[in-house]
Amino acid sequence: MKIADVQLSDPAYIPFRQMADAINVLPTAMSYLFLQVFTDEGITGIGPAHG
């Protein structure tokens, strides 16, 4: 089995819990990228890409 193609998705921004200190509430969003791998045997896998 050989890897035939690798594709990286556009960033997806997923809301995360809000962070706060004594005065401010800071909205946060986590960005995720997904890596998709294709093989010469037709098997495809997808998973999160961490940087």
pLDDT digits (tens, 9 = 90+) for 1-46: 899 999 988 888 877 766 667 777 666 777 788 899 999 999 899 8
Apex 42 CA angle, 39 and 46, nearest 5: 65
Q: How far is CA 27 from the centre of its chain?
A: 19
pTM higher than 0.75: no
Three-state secondary-structure class, residue 27: coil
Sign of CA dihedral 3, 38, 4, 49: negative
